[in-house]
Structure 1
Amino acid sequence: MRTHRTPLARRIQRGFTLVEMAIVLAVIGLIIGAIAVGKDVQRNAEYQKIANKFAMQWKAAYDQYYQRNGGVLGDCQQAPTYMVNGAQTTFAGAAAVCTRTGGSAVAGIPENFANTGFKICNGQGYAPGQTGAGDTTLSSQNLRELFNRAGVRMPPGRGEGQEDRYLYQDTNGNATEVQVCFQWNPPGTTSGAGNVMVLRGLTPDLARFMDQVIDGKPDSREGRFRIQGRVAHNGGAADANAPGTAWEANNTIASSIQTSDAATGAATPAAATATGRQFDEDRVVLLTAHWIMEE
């Protein structure tokens, strides 16, 4: 006996049309794209927080210290040098710069001071050379003690006692710490002469972002935000106003911090453009930057 299929049975056995498949694939693509974009948005938000609520707040605290004390961080009030950590320097062979005994035969300019350029931190943090070449000697003055003595409120940072630190994740998901210090750079320093904020533990991606925020020009040689330890121009006339240099190191090269592997070391970030391991689980190479202060 012959049977007839009902319209309902035909509808049940029917597959997806090309239009329906295209819609499904488009929705899946949108979801995947939204996830990828969401990660970038989250990272940019974290970078913005580091720049605005940490670095910028430390800049404001430094300026407040200057206004309240009439001198820069760690300087002598009665005989200022206008150099960070000036109280630890000596002048024209004198025992202490704050007394300025003798030395009237020479000018009170940086070239006539000794023991200059020591950085003021709250502890050593990264060992010298871990986040780039050019680290200076640690001052005997403590960053946190100086701000507390002056009654200047510091940014919250990682918490009480670690206001100079900020924890974030690098692009490979590894925990990374930014540390703030201050120091004075002698004339001719490529990262900027005068008093600078030292930011240690920056990934290249974060350094580029902060450079763009601070002076609008992501250039590691020029502007108010520069990489520490950059080799100076060779002095030729063509180099005087030559274009700067990018933050070369990328976000896929391993850093050899506290290891003995063959990954690109923190002291040679420029080599990270072409050498070193490129595994997603590796720690991203870290850099040190100098932010030039107005005072």
Structure 2
Amino acid sequence: MANNKAQHRIAQQSGFTLVEIAIVLVIIGLILGALAVGKDVQRNAEYQKVGNKFIYEWKRSYDGYYQRAGVVLGDSQVAPTNMVDGEKVTIGGQPAATANLNGAVAGVPASYANSGGRICNGQGFAANSVGTGDPAVSVQNLRTLMQQIGNRMPPGRGEGKEDRYVYTDSNGNPAEIQVCFQWNPAGLVHGAGNAMVIRGLTPDLARFLDQLVDGKPDAMEGRFRQQNIAANTTATNNQAGVQWGANNTYNQANPGAATATGVGQRLDEDQVVLVTAIWVMDQ
């Protein structure tokens, strides 16, 4: 009887078996894995929301302006140039809408002056904020142009700030996107023609949007590219397989270079480096 009581006490004092410990460790691993996957899913959902509810909506607004006005954003309706901000360009020193009536000068981009102004809402962002040659902000206002034609804009950050959107970067810090439009002359690495300019993208978000637009996240190929005002020469021409010129910790000054140069933020709590993208429009 005494032996049975002793055995009972020993059984009560025994710890977890190896099988039980293994099961607990597996459960903990599954929980941690689910948290990691959940974070990636949440970030991708945020990126998808940025693309669908803001960037693509501004593409629709731009196309809607063209359908309503019959010209691209900010162009002259009486003498269109097919250039964003074309209302303000000049030819032969005179406004394009009233000058060159005898056709003495060819109405091609090379003949126009004061072209390429960046149409933003209000201040926009300053000329040369990316590099020398970055265009100046137009006197025309993006929000005013859209309202004058009765065109719908995405809600953005709210009334009066429809051109902006706030999201969370991969380190949990808020970042702001701003949308403008401009005409790019031929011979630039980031593409010629009328384009949407998107400032404030993390490299991850830029690659995600590039994948949505082009099907391939390449910084120097397709209709969605990293802003680069360099001339399209044999040294910097369109070439497949060029990475976006930054990642979450390093900023690459020359997107065509093989490796990143210049150190960005390194710590998990720091703001992720931001880049600017150019999306060439259909009209």
- Both structures adopt the same fold (TM-score exceeding 0.5): yes
Distance in 2 of aligned mates of 1:36 and 1:84: 44
TM-score normalised per structure 1: 0.87
Distance in 2 of aligned mates of 1:207 and 1:199: 9
Alpha carbons of structure 1 residues 39 and 16: separation in structure 2 relative to 1, 3 Å: same
Distance in 2 of aligned mates of 1:137 and 1:156: 26
The two structures, once aligned, show a CA RMSD in angstroms of 2.3
| Residue in structure 1 matched with residue 222 of structure 2 by the alignment | 223
Structure 1 residue 5, shift from structure 2 partner? 2.2
Give deviations 1:152-196, integer Å, cap 9, x for gaps.
Answer: 010011111100000011112221100000000011121111100
Distance in 1 of aligned mates of 2:159 and 2:26: 49
Alpha carbons of structure 1 residues 164 and 187: separation in structure 2 relative to 1, 3 Å: same
Paired residues of 1:92 and 1:103 also in contact (CA < 8 A) = no
Structure 1 residue 19, shift from structure 2 partner? 1.0
Q: Does 1:89 align with 2:89?
A: yes
Structure 1 residue 214, shift from structure 2 partner? 0.6
| Residue in structure 2 matched with residue 55 of structure 1 by the alignment | 55
| Residue in structure 2 matched with residue 145 of structure 1 by the alignment | 144
Counterpart residue identity of residue 246, structure 1: Q
Q: Does 1:268 align with 2:253?
A: yes
| Residue in structure 2 matched with residue 282 of structure 1 by the alignment | 270
Distance in 2 of aligned mates of 1:204 and 1:228: 12
| Residue in structure 2 matched with residue 258 of structure 1 by the alignment | none
- Identical aligned pairs, as a percentage? 57
Distance in 2 of aligned mates of 1:241 and 1:118: 24
| Residue in structure 1 matched with residue 158 of structure 2 by the alignment | 159
Counterpart residue identity of residue 92, structure 1: G
Paired residues of 1:93 and 1:103 also in contact (CA < 8 A) = no
How do 1:1-295 and structure 2 match up within 5 A? 2-5=2-5, 8-94=8-94, 96-102=95-101, 104-128=103-127, 130=129, 132-133=130-131, 135-229=134-228, 231-232=230-231, 234-235=233-234, 242-253=239-250, 268=253, 270=255, 273-276=260-263, 277-295=265-283
Look up the SS of the partner of 2:4 in the other structure. coil
Paired residues of 1:92 and 1:102 also in contact (CA < 8 A) = no
Look up the SS of the partner of 1:179 in the other structure. strand
Paired residues of 1:64 and 1:152 also in contact (CA < 8 A) = yes
State the structure with bigger RCO (CA 8 A, min sep 6), 1 or 2: 1
TM-score normalised per structure 2: 0.91
Paired residues of 1:157 and 1:165 also in contact (CA < 8 A) = yes
Give structure 1 stretches of 5+ with no counterpart: 254-263
Give structure 2 stretches of 5+ with no counterpart: none
Distance in 1 of aligned mates of 2:118 and 2:125: 13
Structure 1 residue 244, shift from structure 2 partner? 3.9
Give deviations 1:221-268, integer Å, cap 9, x for gaps.
Answer: 0101001116455427xx867424111311124xxxxxxxxxx6xx93
